[in-house]
């Protein structure tokens, strides 16, 4: 069984990881959710144990875990701050299959992990959303949302439509005329170029040197994956 541990409390996470490994689990670590994202897609763990900050301080990190769980059939055990009973309840309501205080012993956490994985065998897989992702860029076609490293990027309906068109034809060069034809008569090649410009401003670290929405000179645009993992943190 594969278990991914995500958290910044190195002592806690390492202790849990060592105990899991001694119980014959395969374990990998990540210090942040953006760093963990590629492991969700490439390694495909059955369980994620994630250290969560207080809800009232960083609700966006909770939202990122919830979205991941909607997309990937993975079980989640959350670690919340000791005494934060409301956080424990909220974790169970929003995103986790189980929740425990960070003050719990590693033995208790591992025992809960084992129990959770035993139950998982008799539970139907979580539904998968229709998505495009490279581990950092997440496009959820079902909800029409874009996440960049866990951060929700607000797009207009037409911006999302252009991005969706590129994402449904990854690494295929589409001319502005072709994109307009694939969408609707409301779009023109000039409008496509305008929305590409706006998308790059919202998505790209450097819009003049895009790493996602790339151009093929004289031919059109295509959605690419960065040549190496992209972590801006």
DSSP letter string, 74-140: -EEEEEE-TT-HHHHHHHHHHT-SEEEETTS-HHHHHHHHHHHHHHHTTSPPPPPPPEEESSSEEEE
Confidence band, pLDDT 50/70/90 cuts, at residue 227: low
pLDDT at 95: 78
CATH number of 2-120: 3.40.50.2300
Q: What is the domain partition of the chain in residue ranges?
A: 2-120, 132-223
Closest-CA residue to 166 (of 155, 152, 33, 38): 155
How many CA atoms lie within 13 Å of 168's alpha carbon, on the beta-carbon side?
13
**Bridge partners for 221 per DSSP:** 174, 215
Sign of CA dihedral 93, 94, 97, 99: negative
pLDDT digits (tens, 9 = 90+) for 79-88: 999 888 998 8
User: Is 195 within 8 Å of 162 (Cβ atoms)?
Assistant: yes
Residue 75 reports pLDDT greater than 90: no
Average pLDDT of 182-199?
A: 93
Q: What is the DSSP letter of 170?
A: T
Average pLDDT of 135-155?
A: 86
What the block records as the tokens of 159 is 């911006």
Closest-CA residue to 86 (of 56, 65, 106): 56
Strands 98-101 and 75-80: parallel
Residue 127 reports pLDDT greater than 60: no
Helix axes 189-203, 157-167, angle to 10 degrees: 90
Sign of CA dihedral 141, 145, 149, 154: positive
Sign of CA dihedral 141, 143, 146, 151: negative
Percentages of the chain per state (helix, strand, coil), in multiples of 5: 40, 20, 40
Helix axes 10-22, 106-120, angle to 10 degrees: 60
pTM tops 0.85: no
CATH architecture type of domain 132-223: Orthogonal Bundle (1.10)
């Amino acid at each position: 069984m594969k278990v991914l541990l995500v958290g910044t409390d190195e002592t806690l996470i390492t202790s849990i990881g060592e105990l899991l490994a001694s119980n014959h689990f395969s374990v990998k670590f990540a210090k942040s959710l953006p760093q963990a994202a590629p492991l969700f897609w490439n390694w495909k763990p059955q369980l994620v144990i994630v250290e969560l900050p207080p809800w009232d301080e960083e609700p966006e990190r909770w939202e990122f875990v919830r979205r991941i769980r909607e997309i990937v059939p993975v079980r989640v055990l959350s670690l919340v701050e000791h005494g934060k009973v409301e956080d424990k309840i909220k974790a169970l309501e929003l995103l986790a299959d189980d929740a425990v205080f960070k003050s719990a012993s590693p033995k208790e956490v591992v025992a809960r992990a084992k129990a959770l994985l035993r139950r998982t065998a008799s539970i139907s897989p979580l539904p998968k959303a229709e998505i495009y992702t490279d581990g950092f860029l997440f496009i959820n076609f079902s909800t029409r949302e874009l996440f960049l490293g866990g951060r929700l990027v607000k797009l207009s309906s037409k911006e999302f439509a252009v991005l969706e068109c590129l994402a449904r034809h990854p690494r295929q060069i589409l001319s502005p005329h072709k994109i307009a034809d694939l969408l609707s008569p409301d779009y023109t090649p000039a409008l496509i170029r305008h929305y590409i410009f706006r998308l790059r401003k919202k998505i790209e670290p450097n819009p003049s040197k895009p790493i996602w929405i790339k151009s093929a000179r004289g031919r059109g645009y295509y959605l690419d994956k960065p040549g190496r993992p992209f972590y801006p943190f």
